[in-house]
Structure 1
């Protein structure tokens, strides 16, 4: 996939499980992965922290569901002047996922989206988009589960966006480092922790507060000689493989990490390591019913 704000810049890809993998998983999994920030345009988008209505379903705009304007722009923008472009990231994604769903509609299916940093924001936007448009539903009779795996990801939308994702059944696992500043943005102050007094009184600005979506798997790692490691994808994946090296800040997650360690050891991680991590940890999370 490419996004139109940077003349055909490659940002992710869509893959589908082989027949051998289908026999192992028991279903046909469509995997969508997104990389993190690379270009100057993407860095600028990361800091466009104003909220805008997502408005991804023209038949039901839901003006109260708002997302970060920069992420939305990266997802929906189309540069028609680029000879390498094939439409916006959104158009390419919806087209390919729809094609795969139609191709394998007689099989048991699942949709998995994963990304690091900015890529995790695009993964969550995509998962919400697919569910909001109902592309994962077959005439209200069968629903394809959508799961998002976020590695070091920022907040994406407001509390209404969070609640709508939950209502649509989009499952999200956020793997975060407690020292990673990216996971605390946007909404450093105006976030889910500052929208209500107790659980009864909603502040007037609550609809403008950012909120994380899903279940958090919190890791704790920091190296004084290399502060940048707090947001490094390789470190995230490495610590999932060796959970004894970190502290886990969510009850009930220790067993998950131990199981993840055993399964991830069986797979050699390639250039895009989170595709294996998301798939393997995802199977464990879903089987344990954590999300």
Structure 2
């Protein structure tokens, strides 16, 4: 199929940077679009949102799609920037800023979006003796997990539609890490009229999404109830406009985002086929089984997964029993293949690695910095050279191996 987005010579001359390098951080900053890019986005936004599963836009990566991925990534980065982890602060485990000033406070004053609601999630009450207690280890208490925002009237002209964006940060507190450890599949059962027992998702992520701790200081109910209520309100408010629902998240946040996208589509909130639901996932793990993947595809949920080939979190859970398992032994499908984890959506592969700090392979700043073309201190991706360094580097590589092991263990053991 030909590329449905008109190609401007000016835009295409800004070719995407090579997707191989390394970076540890990036500044959150306001971004203004060139007029040519803005006009193309307004005309081709449905393709950018995945109408045709990003056909001919990922390989090679179209500059307009790249810019949109970065833009939504910056909204996710704002969650980390605004999250208060100071135990002495009155906003501890909450957002540091009020809704009206949050985007401005993190450098996104000119984003063209307005925050409409903060979202809180309750981690399951799990006690694991191997995890040391900390000020962040209190379970069964709501924590700020992300926010909902809508494009302003002015931004609508640039985007070509009213965009409802929901963003989620990744794992930060100990109870959230505990939830990630619950690596077992359980039926989602989000539609009370059709529970679909064959659609299964990871238990810990589902618990974060649906847990309802009424005794917490916010008293807002589950993350799910907060989100569905606000999305329903915004869809009704803008019912006479073209609307898109864009969900973006990093790591655990991308898992919550995919659950939300599935939920919206399963319940018909998106006025089937009329309101596109798109997920931009950064370093996301698998969320559900093959039944979940197939149902998401059937419902038209579009997912673009930005994946570092060196990021171990993107290969979990289901390191062995995953979407590739049925290919074993000549493609024979085992009876228990329905219990295998499976990724959903289109994969955009990038490649970055830093020997002295291997945990950067999962860092959101590294992901977005690479796409923005602002990578520093590139290191050779040659595997032979890396292997040689492993044997010759001594202590440096031993330290790197320990750091990588700790990263994986903290997510799933």
Q: TM-score range by the shorter chain?
A: 0.7 to 0.9
**Residue of 48, 59, 65 corresponding to 2:193:** 59
Change (3 A) 1:62 1:246: farther
Worse-matched range after superposition: 3-12 or 22-31 = 3-12
How do 1:65-84 and structure 2 match up within 5 A? Answer: 65-84=199-218
1:47 is aligned to 2:178: no
Contact 1:195 1:205 in 2 (8 A): no
**Equivalent pair of 1:220/1:247 in contact (CA under 8 Å):** no
> TM-score, normalised on structure 2?
0.57
> Is the counterpart of residue 88 in structure 1 residue 88 in structure 2?
no
Corresponding position of 1:3: 121
Deviations 1:204-244 (A, max 9, x none): 12100000000111111110111110000011000010188
> Structure 1, unaligned stretches of length 5 or more?
249-291
TM-score normalised over the length of structure 1: 0.81
Larger of the two Rg values belongs to structure? 2
Runs of 4 or more, structure 1, over 6 Å off, are: 243-248
Q: What is the alpha-carbon distance in structure 1 between the residues aligned to residue 380 and residue 316 of structure 2?
A: 22
The number of aligned residues is 245
**Would you say 1:19 and 2:153 are equivalent positions?**
yes
Match of 1:154 in 2: 285
Q: Is 1:227–2:358 an aligned residue pair?
A: yes
Gaps of 5+ in 2: 1-118, 124-139, 382-413
Q: Quote the Cα distance in structure 2 between the aligned partners of 1:47 and 1:8.
A: 19
The structure with the greater share of residues assigned to strand is 1
Post-superposition CA distance 1:101-128 (Å, at most 9, x none): 0000000000000000000000000000
Find the partner of 2:311 among 177, 180, 192.
Answer: 180
Q: How does 1:179-198 map to 2 (within 5 A)?
A: 179-197=310-328
Shift in Å, 1:14: 0.4
Superposition pairs for residues 110-259 of structure 1, below 5 Å? 110-137=244-271, 143-197=274-328, 201-242=332-373
Greater RCO (CA < 8 Å, at least 6 residues apart): 2
Shift of 1:84: 1.5
Q: Secondary structure at the match of 2:320?
A: coil
CA RMSD of aligned residues (A): 1.8
Cα distance in 1 for partners of 2:330, 2:219 equals 48
